[in-house]
Amino acid sequence: MSSTAYNSPVDIATTLQTTLWHLPLKSSTSEFATSAPTFITIHHLRLDTARKFPGLLDSLYKEFTSDVASGRSLFDTQTASHDMFEAYFFAESLFLGIAHNSIVFHWQGDERSVEGMLMGVAAVSVEDARASRPWEECLAGFYSVRPNFPGRSSHIAGAAIIISTKHRQQGIGHVLARSMLYYAPRLGYSAGLANLVFANNPASIRLWESLHCTKIARIPRVGRFSRADGQGDEYVDGFMFYKEFSESRKDSPWASMSKRALTKASL
């Protein structure tokens, strides 16, 4: 469904500023500490701008189809065409996460903590953030934001998020989901609704729970999946998670003490 049909609250000429997010290190393994990204830049794109970056749409689509091939996606292999991907993920806004292993950029304002994560505005273009790296190397993940409903309810955002396969379980889902809480209100939305999270997707459930979203509904037997033993299909329940963005807006700019501490830690 296009954003026009869904009467988006967003001025489509608006492009929000890039933000820089500090990825808290997990204490799990030393290997993680040396190889995992430490910063993510998030870039607001629309389809026409995304098309300007050679190879980007193909890389996004590749991650999408890899998720579809897992057999756990909302989409199935019959319907996951490139056109469908573009229509769904670029219905309004797509936010691109680019991974960085060391700090190269700095905050330029609006520094704050969003659900406990430090971030700020940074004047970084997609090409500068990419720094000539292949997309496969630097693409951390992406998500779309769009109206969940038409007309008088179009102020409720819907979202779809995919973290690059090689970057999963490194906390990047936490970063991108928090950035959604930052960006969606700035696009004009007043609340967000993850309207279908399958019960067999613990990472996604955990993600929305960690943002203090309210689990408002359980939809019985909404997902049809192939059984692991190949003996036909099985049905899985799904959940709806809801969050008022007014709560996120209360995130206060973080103190200069935190800023100093972060700068020191990053050098």
Ligand X SMILES: CC(C)(COP(=O)(O)OP(=O)(O)OC[C@H]1O[C@@H](n2cnc3c(N)ncnc32)[C@H](O)[C@@H]1OP(=O)(O)O)[C@@H](O)C(=O)NCCC(=O)NCCS
Q: What is the number of the residue whose Cβ is closest to ligand X?
A: 173
Report the amino acid identity of residue 172: I
**Count of residues making up the chain:** 267
Looking at the Cβ atoms of 168 and 260, the one nearer to ligand X is 168
List the structure tokens of 198.
């399958």
Helices and strands in the chain, H and E counts: 10, 10
Number of Cβ within a 10 Å radius of residue 44: 21
72 in helix, strand or coil?
A: coil
248 binds ligand X (CB under 6 A): no
Whether the CB-CB separation of 180 and 207 falls below 8 Å is answered with: no
148 secondary structure, DSSP code: S
200 near ligand X, rule: CB under 6 A: no
Q: Examine residue 201 and tell whether it contacts ligand X (CB under 6 A).
A: yes
CB of 250 to ligand X, least distance (A): 21
Does 170 contact ligand X by CB under 6 A?
A: yes
Residue 24 binds ligand X, judged by CB under 6 A: no
Report d(CA 24, CA 32) in Å as an integer: 12
Q: Could you tell me which stretch among 97-105, 123-131, 171-179, 227-235 binds ligand X (CB under 6 A)?
A: 171-179
Tell me if 157 contacts ligand X by CB under 6 A: no
181 contacts ligand X (rule: CB under 6 A): no
- Alpha helix (H) ranges present in 51-171? 56-69, 82-89, 126-130, 135-138
Looking at the DSSP bridge assignments, the partners of residue 114 are: 117
**Partners of 141 in the β-ladder:** 97, 163
Q: Does 129 bind ligand X (CB under 6 A)?
A: no
Which of 52, 133, 168, 224 is in the footprint of ligand X by CB under 6 A? Answer: 168
| CB 207, min distance to ligand X, A | 5
Nearer to ligand X by Cβ, of 144 and 201: the residue is 201
**Which residue in the set 126, 162, 180, 211 belongs to the binding site for ligand X (CB under 6 A)?**
162
Residues of this chain that bind ligand X (CB under 6 A): 67, 161-163, 168-174, 194, 197, 201-204, 206-207, 210
